[in-house]
Structures are given as C-alpha cells and as structure tokens.
Chain A
Amino acid sequence: MRFVCALIALASAGAAFAQDKPAVEPARVEAAIRSSWPAASPDWQARLVPDRTMEECSAHANSPPAAASTAIQKREGATIVYPADGKLLGDWKKGEALAQSGYGLRFTDYPARRPNGGNCYACHQLTRQEVSFGTIGPSLLEYGKLRGSTPEAVKAAYEKIYNPHATLACSLMPRFGLNKVLTPEQIKNLVALLMDKDSPVNQ
C-alpha cells in the first residue's frame, strides 16, 4: 500500500526538484520521516516507502520527460486486472454509495467493519445533488453523457480507476485497483455511476 502524497509535498517543501540542488538533502528528509512515525509497525512503515513510479514522479516534480512518462504508463498499465466475467458496468446505485464512503485502510479501520469506499467526492464533483465535494480532481458531472458509453470509453473509465498512472504518468489519484482499495466488482459499480444514463452523474 503506498499513500505517500504527503511525503511528496514534504519533499517539494524542501525544493527537491530534479535539476536543482535540493535545499534540504534527501537523506535529511528521510531521517525526518523515520523519526516522525516511531510507533508504526513494519507493515505500516512500508506505507511510507515510495515505489518506483512515485520515486520517478517525485524526482521530476510530477513532470517527467516524455520517454519516462511513456515507460511509467506502460508499466502501470500492465498491472490492470479486468473482471473475470468481462463485464465492466455494474450497479450505479452501489457506485454512488462507494463514492460517498471514505471508509477503509485507515489505522482505525482494523479489523474492517464494512467494505472499503472510494471517497470519490473528496476530490471530484459527481452529481448535482451532492454539494460537498473536493476540487483536487476535475468535475465528473455528465461524465458518460459527454463521452458516450462506447466500449472504449467504458474501458478507459475502468482503467482510470484501477490505475490512473496508466493514462497520466504522475496522476495524483490513488491506484484503487492496484493497491487493493477497491475490488474489480466495486470498480464496475463506479464505472456504472459514471456511465449509466440513469445515474445522477448524467442528469
């Protein structure tokens, strides 16, 4: 599990841009991180360690050269697992509940008392009814209406949720499928929320 966007923010606070000499040495940042989570078990410490894609994105302040971007997208795209039944559209009503829920994988969520949520509204506008939404991600209002529900558009939505780095090398969006935040079945329900003509997203 790799949720280290905050660490990226911390690193850029130290002006750790690729070509410039960082104001704070990376080793100094590492030491600060190690000292700030002293009580975490090895399992939890692992969440503080960036993977290869995060390392590359941090080194280039999220704008890697074209060849590196392509390589990241190819590598991340290869991680995508599709549902066994080949169907990518689920139930939009279940998708809406998932979009609202921020439950799961926090240190107070063990043992799990209910399924993980996607917390989509934390970053995206999705429906006109829900007025409490974040703006870190683009508005997804009328997502399906604007794109049409072609098999290609449906597949693109599934892949975007499963692993956003496959379409945008240094996306800020979590990799919900790869990191096992959501199951393929749950992702199908979110794809339906985006694509179904009856979904409140497309009203």
Chain B
Amino acid sequence: MTMQHRLYDCYWQMRLPELEMGSEVSVALAAYLASKAEGGEIAAPGMKR
C-alpha cells in the first residue's frame, strides 16, 4: 500500500472520481501531507473504520 493508493481510496470515499495515479494532485497532496507531518510522531497501532 503506497501513499498513492491511500489517496486513491481517500477520493473514492469522498465520492469523487477515480484519481489518476501519479497525477499532479496526488503528488502535490502527498508532498503537502509530508511537509505538515514533519517532526511529528506516529501513534500506532491505529484504528480504522
């Protein structure tokens, strides 16, 4: 499971069309999330619905 897959599923759950893997939106959003997460700590395991 890559970040691309996770974003693809994220848009699916938001009822949006099928996100193109490797598209500019997918790369920009992954970069944005990575920059926001910088310095943060992962709390695991998590819980998923």
Contact = CB atoms under 8 A, between A and B. Distances in A.
A121 B20 contact: no
Interface in A23-70: 32-33, 35-41, 44-45, 47-48
B19 to A, nearest CB: 6
B43 to A, nearest CB: 13
A27 to B, nearest CB: 14
A9 B29 contact: yes
A32 B25 contact: yes
A102 B49 contact: yes
Interface stretch (A73-81, A105-113, A151-159, A190-198): A105-113
Interface residues of A, number: 32
Nearest to B32: A13
Contacts of A134: 49
Nearest to A28: B24
Nearest to A109: B15
A174 to B, nearest CB: 9
Interface string B1-18: 000000000111111111
Closest 10 CB pairs of A and B: A40-B17, A36-B25, A36-B23, A44-B17, A13-B32, A3-B15, A32-B24, A105-B15, A37-B17, A3-B14
